[in-house]
Amino acid sequence: MGFVRSAPQRPHSTSDAISFSLPVFDSVLTVDLGFTPEEEAFRQEVRTWLESNLPAEWRHRGVGGYREEEETEIQRDWQRRLYEGGWLKLGWPAEAGGRGATPVMQAIYQEEMARVGAPGILGRLGVTLLAPTLVAMGSEWQKETYVEKILSGEMIFCQGFSEPDAGSDLAGLRTKAEKHDGKWILSGQKTWSSGAHYSHKSFLLARTDPVAEPHRGIGFFLVDMEQPGVEVRRIKQMTGGGEFCEIFLTGAEVDERDLVGQPQDGWKIAMTVFGFERGGLAQAARFERVVAELAALARERGVGSDATTRQKIAQAQIEAHVFRLIGLRSLTKAQHGHAPGPEASVTKLYWSEMDKRMQETAIGVEGMYGALAPESAMAVEDGRWQYGWMWAQAETIYAGSSEIQRNIIAERVLGLPRGR
């Protein structure tokens, strides 16, 4: 993809060949929305591999009525296929066994996966967040012991950051880690931990120094989930599932080798973890696909010619396209070595509110059928849209609520004074 700074544009394909100037705080980046021949060839490579490897029985979660056990096995198998295909190290440097793909190539890969609605992977948090963090900041023992097992799916990690009394204030965590006889003893509670009930280990934060400043005195630990001092309780969701869990730590033991970095490095390592989070074009491709499915639903339900419905779907299409441009802006910054800034709040606010509106439109298109529970035998498309609507209610809350994102945008992007 042609990303240049006051320089001649690279050759590109004719598709999406549009340019515009993009202010990025201290500089202006010129964005050419075309892709180079090499990037288009890579896209075709991904598509060819998907045609041969995408599970034939897979359909998007919520469509087809997969039971949790079935979906778990599909995701486990899909992770194995991706690992054996070399895709899970796509952006890693060659010296770490990766392909050294550029941010653009990584975005193309994510976009193509989203385009076909590929399954998720069972060990997503370990693969996308923990493994690259260990490569960057872990000890040699940690790299040798965990990285390949994380990628292959042999070892599943969950994340233990959020706590019930801390809200959105991650630095306000209260879980304690005390050193005794060469081991760290952990006591406290974590919540909203995805997949903790089937995870082998957790990467979590605990306070190693109770008198230090909030962002200091925090350790980053790799905790065995299959020990007496760890209890997992699943949280019942309104979707009927129980993906999220609470973790209770009552004297859980952690070997010194499973402390990443120094006892006070936890906050710095956590920020590294967050830096590996992905979104952008993959989410944009998913939303564009959902809009197309929403239009098909309207036609099937006989409301495709209704003026109000057509306007709502057209608005969703416009918003999905704008979100793709937002993703390209973030990609431009990454290509030029800019770290993610407060504009990440714009992205989170935009997509979560947009998806909520899209799902509400879908429920309206279904008419009276929209009031049925997802598991109802009469639900349209096996309750897929009801399931999506329920999830969308949480999207404007988790990972920083819309209210928090608006405050960040107001203070850090627009320069408005902090409210009292």
- Confidence tier at 20 by pLDDT (50, 70, 90): very low
Q: pLDDT tens digits for 321-355?
A: 999 888 888 777 767 766 666 677 888 899 999 99
User: Given this model, what pLDDT does residue 304 score?
Assistant: 92
User: Given this model, what pLDDT does residue 7 score?
Assistant: 32
Q: Which domains does the chain have, with CATH numbers?
A: 3-32 (no CATH), 55-122 (no CATH), 157-274 (2.40.110.10), 279-413 (1.20.140.10)
**Average pLDDT of the chain?**
85
Tokens of 136: 């960057």
Higher pLDDT, 137 or 69: 137
How many CB atoms sit inside 10 A of residue 199's CB? 26
Task: Please enumerate in sequence order all residues whose Cβ is within 8 A of that of 323, keeping only pairs 6 or more positions apart, or say none.
Answer: 283, 284, 287, 350, 351, 354
Per cent of the chain over pLDDT 90 is 56
Pairing of strands 176-180, 183-194: antiparallel
How many CB atoms sit inside 10 A of residue 104's CB? 22
Angle between helices 37-53 and 103-115 (to 10 degrees): 40
Per cent of the chain over pLDDT 70 is 85
Per the CB < 8 A criterion, the answer to whether 201 and 155 are in contact is: yes
User: Given this model, what pLDDT does residue 9 score?
Assistant: 39
- Confidence tier at 418 by pLDDT (50, 70, 90): confident
Mark whether 277 is an active-site residue: yes
Tokens of 342: 């407060």
Residue in the block written with tokens 């937002």 = 326
- Confidence tier at 64 by pLDDT (50, 70, 90): very low
Q: Between the ranges 66-70, 93-97, 146-150, 374-378, where is the mean pLDDT highest? A: 146-150
Q: Between the ranges 24-33, 43-52, 337-346, where is the mean pLDDT highest? A: 43-52
| Residue 22 predicted with pLDDT over 50 | no
User: Given this model, what pLDDT does residue 67 score?
Assistant: 64
Lowest mean pLDDT among 325-334, 372-381, 404-413: 325-334
| Residue 288 predicted with pLDDT over 60 | yes
Pairing of strands 157-160, 201-207: parallel
Rounded Cα gap, residues 334 and 344, in angstroms: 12
User: Given this model, what pLDDT does residue 102 score?
Assistant: 87
Q: pLDDT tens digits for 173-217?
A: 999 999 999 899 999 999 999 999 999 999 999 999 998 888 889
User: Given this model, what pLDDT does residue 49 score?
Assistant: 96
Higher pLDDT, 203 or 4: 203
User: Given this model, what pLDDT does residue 238 score?
Assistant: 87
- Confidence tier at 10 by pLDDT (50, 70, 90): very low
What is the number of alpha carbons within 13 Å of residue 227 lying toward its C-beta?
17
User: Given this model, what pLDDT does residue 400 score?
Assistant: 80
User: Given this model, what pLDDT does residue 357 score?
Assistant: 96
Distances (CA, A) of 220 to 137, 143, 186: 11, 15, 12
Catalytic residue among 38, 73, 213, 277: 277
Per the CB < 8 A criterion, the answer to whether 75 and 243 are in contact is: no
| Residue 308 predicted with pLDDT over 50 | yes
Q: pLDDT tens digits for 80-135?
A: 999 999 999 998 888 888 889 988 898 899 889 988 889 889 999 999 999 999 99
Task: Please enumerate in sequence order all residues whose Cβ is within 8 A of that of 397, keeping only pairs 6 or more positions apart, or say none.
Answer: none
Task: Output the 3-class SS for the chain.
Answer: CCEECCCCCCCCCCCCCCEEEEEECCEEEEEECCCCHHHHHHHHHHHHHHHHHCCCCCCCCCCCCCCHHHHHHHHHHHHHHHHHCCHHHCCCCHHHCCCCCCHHHHHHHHHHHHHCCCCCCCCHHHHHHHHHHHHHHCCHHHHHHHHHHHHHCCCCEEEECCCCCCCCCHHHCCCEEEEECCEEEEEEEEEEEECHHHCCEEEEEEECCCCCCCCCCEEEEEEECCCCCEEEEECCCCCCCCCEEEEEEEEEEEEHHHEECCCCCHHHHHHHHHHCCCCCHHHHHHHHHHHHHHHHHHHHCCCCCCHHHHHHHHHHHHHHHHHHHHHHHHHHHHHCCCCCCCCHHHHHHHHHHHHHHHHHHHHHHHHHHHHCCCCCCCCHHHHHHHHHHHHHHHHCCCCCCHHHHHHHHHHHHCCCCCCC
